[in-house]
Amino acid sequence: MGYSPFYFLAQTFKNIFRSKGMSLASVLVLMACLLVTGTFYTVNENLNYNLESLGQLNRILAYINEECPDEEIRAIKELVEEFDNVKSVKLISKEEALQDEMERLGEEYEEIFHLLMEEGDNPYRASLEIEYDQPEGVEELEELVAGIEGIDSVQSRADTAEKVVEVKNAISKIFIALMALLFAVSFFIIVTTVKLSMRERSKEISVMRYIGASGIFIAIPFLLEGLFIGGVAAGLALFIHQYIYTMIVSGVTKDFLGILSLLPPSTLTSELAVGFFLVALLTGLVGSIISLVRHISD
């Protein structure tokens, strides 16, 4: 018996239209699962992006006394670099601090900052940005830095970092539970869809076996059916996700409430496309294989 690709495609679409109700349900449930997965990925990527734009949270800011000469400031920096749990130390001058604040607040306050720069009235102080390795030793590191002569005050975002991690973990648990549930439902529906298709073609399959058709020849249309369901679900999920996310990005300002920024939709497209199609095609294929194995074992 010939292995024509057109025959396999024709049989695949016949199977889909014979059980169009279940096929549609398979596509919709798998699409919902992918949308949940994509939403979690997008939230996580935006959260990480904002943490990076905030200079991360695993850092301590040590403000230097305005009367400290440059030589003493460099000596303080070298001393801090020798402390345990210190990954890096960056010196931020008064001018750099003013410039960074002007860029952060944007054009609305640009004239005020330019006036301060022209008159030499800079309210900001030089500081050390200290990045640490382990959050467990932050309190001890803060005490050491605060005790250095020439350091006026020390600020840490350790509490905020801990809360952010807790929020991320909570979000992860919720989305993982939803994904597990939806994937289980997707598998069940795809298995049922393919199994119904095989039952409707049971007489035809019996005849094909009688005249010598191989198992792979009989199985290919059903495997393609699962792949087709997965591909359609992935395509629809990617389109809906990107459309909604684009609307959200265009509907808010560049810096939401002056705190959060959203990644451009184009930066997520390739990763989502690869992830959606890989997961959906694998789900459809595995669901079809399970149906075939059960049918053959019956």
Residues 6+ apart with CB under 8 A from 67: none
Structure tokens at 157: 């975002």
- Distance set, CA 70 to CA 73, 74, 148, 153 (Å): 5, 6, 16, 18
Residues 6+ apart with CB under 8 A from 15: 194, 197, 201, 221, 222, 225
Tell me 65's DSSP state.
P
> What is the rounded average pLDDT of the residues 268-284?
89
Residue 38 CA to chain centroid, in angstroms?
7
Q: pLDDT tens, 141-159?
A: 888 898 899 888 888 766 6
Report the C-alpha gap between 214 and 6 in whole angstroms. 18
Structure tokens at 8: 């396999």
Nearest to 14 by CA among 148, 142, 162, 200: 200
Report the C-alpha gap between 77 and 287 in whole angstroms. 60
Structure tokens at 264: 């451009």
Burial of 91 (0-12, 13-18, 19+ CB in 10 A): middle
Nearest to 256 by CA among 106, 59, 72: 106
pLDDT of residue 121: 64
Counting every residue, how long is the chain? 298
Q: How many CB atoms lie within 10 A of CB 36?
A: 19
pLDDT of residue 112: 65
User: What domains sit in the chain, N to C, each tagged with a CATH number?
Assistant: 5-53+162-297 (no CATH), 59-156 (3.30.70.3040)
- Band (pLDDT 50/70/90 cuts) for residue 298 is low
Query: Residue 255: what are its φ and ψ, rounded to 5°?
Result: -115, 100
Structure tokens at 156: 């840490």
pLDDT of residue 51: 63
Residue with tokens 């809360």: 163
pLDDT of residue 53: 55
- Distance set, CA 197 to CA 191, 212, 227 (Å): 10, 21, 15
Would you say residue 224 has pLDDT above 80? yes
Average pLDDT, the chain: 77
Would you say residue 257 has pLDDT above 50? no
Q: pLDDT tens, 24-80?
A: 888 888 888 888 888 888 887 887 777 655 545 678 888 888 888 888 988 999 999
> What is the rounded average pLDDT of the residues 135-146?
84
